[in-house]
Amino acid sequence: MIADGIRDWLARDALPGRKIITVRTLTGGYRNDNMLLVTRTGDRYVLRRYLRGNTCAAEAALAARLAGAVPVPEVVAADPAGDVAGEPVLLSRFVEGVPLSAALDRPGVGSAVGEVLAAIGRFGYDDPGFEPTAQLSAYLASKVGAGHERLLAAAAAAEPLLATVAGARRLVHSDFNPKNILVRDSTVAAVLDWEFAFAGTPLFDVGNMLRFSDGYPSTYVDGFVAGFRAGGGHLPERWREISEALDLFALADFLARPDSPYHYRAVAVAERFTAKALRHRKSSVDHPL
């Protein structure tokens, strides 16, 4: 149900004169609560409540900035401080589509997603972004603690690679994966859930998208990489290793929480990264330049 304060805000400020006849909770939210609202005229909206951290103002500003360049839901109204609604809320238009996770085998969809990611990365910031230089092993150690020496050694070995992307100040979605992308046919209808966005290198998003790529159709993976490049996205030498290392920043929480539904998948990804990184380090020691 909708709280009285939010209902008053909808009736007076957000959707004046439009009677809401259906309210339904949408699945997939963890940090936020999303509800589908349907009016008497059949118009559909998504009401977003912030349960774990208020990023309402930032998300509304991003939606306005990206409009016309990146497919994002149109923001209809927002009360970032909850001055009227009693809590932070954001109302956007509902976007029709299916999750990318159900459409990975569609011809051309990988290329379309790659091009959209390249478009996101064209937005830059003046202020310094997140700097991964020499932080990965320490960050993982703070999350997973003792008993993960091989992973920490692999992370330390990857830090010189991460130094090659230091200083990047491009827009990073930071949760760019099939559950947050809606598609229609083989085009991207909307990129959802921008609450984790920050300034950094687009390779964070590349790593996130390809995190579980061993279970994706190869045509999707190849198309995604080709589309990213075609859209102007830059993939430096050893980009796959860099993106996999960067993705460990996001995976760290899952690795530290055995109760998470993603824990065991995250462990498998970390083990694969560790094996590759240590194998490459051994090769470099055995065959120095």
**Structural domains of the chain sorted by starting position, each given as residue range(s) with its CATH number in brackets:** 4-94 (3.30.200.20), 100-286 (3.90.1200.10)
Residue 29 amino acid letter: G
Is the pLDDT confidence value at 19 over 50?
A: yes
- Would you tell me how many other CB atoms lie within 10 Å of the CB of residue 170? 21
Task: Please report the pLDDT score of residue 132 as a whole number.
Answer: 73
Task: Please report the pLDDT score of residue 286 as a whole number.
Answer: 55
Residue with tokens 């560790």: 274
| Residue 221 and residue 227 in contact, taking contact as beta carbons nearer than 8 Å | no
End-to-end CA distance of the chain: 65
Which sign does the torsion angle of CA 9, 10, 13, 19 carry?
negative
Q: How far apart are the C-alpha atoms of 250 and 200, rounded to whole Å?
A: 14
0.85 surpassed by pTM: yes
Task: Please report the pLDDT score of residue 182 as a whole number.
Answer: 98
Residue with tokens 């589509």: 97
Mean pLDDT along residues 144-156: 89
The single-letter DSSP state of residue 232 is T
Among 105-114, 165-174, 256-265, which is the least confidently predicted range? Answer: 256-265
Task: Please report the pLDDT score of residue 128 as a whole number.
Answer: 73
Tell me the percentage of the chain whose pLDDT exceeds 70: 95
Going by C-beta distance under 8 Å and a sequence separation of 6 or more, which residues neighbour residue 41?
A: 18
Between 134 and 203, the more confident residue is 203
**Crossing angle of helices 239-255/149-163, nearest 10°?**
140
Task: Please report the pLDDT score of residue 30 as a whole number.
Answer: 64
Q: How far apart are the C-alpha atoms of 60 and 79, rounded to whole Å?
A: 10
Is the pLDDT confidence value at 284 over 70?
A: no
Mean pLDDT along residues 260-273: 92
Confidence class of residue 287 from pLDDT cuts 50, 70 and 90?
very low
**Which residues are bridge partners to 44 per DSSP?**
38
Confidence class of residue 283 from pLDDT cuts 50, 70 and 90?
low
pLDDT digits 0-9 by tens, 190-211: 999 999 999 999 999 999 999 9
Task: Please report the pLDDT score of residue 289 as a whole number.
Answer: 47
pLDDT digits 0-9 by tens, 222-255: 999 999 999 999 999 999 999 999 999 999 999 9
Task: Please report the pLDDT score of residue 134 as a whole number.
Answer: 63
CA 279 to chain centre: 29
The single-letter DSSP state of residue 197 is -
Task: Please report the pLDDT score of residue 262 as a whole number.
Answer: 87
Q: What are phi and psi of 144, to 5 degrees?
A: -100, -15
pLDDT digits 0-9 by tens, 57-114: 999 999 999 999 999 999 999 999 999 999 999 999 999 999 999 999 999 999 999 9
Tell me the percentage of the chain whose pLDDT exceeds 90: 83
Q: How far apart are the C-alpha atoms of 249 and 243, rounded to whole Å?
A: 11
Mean pLDDT along residues 155-162: 93
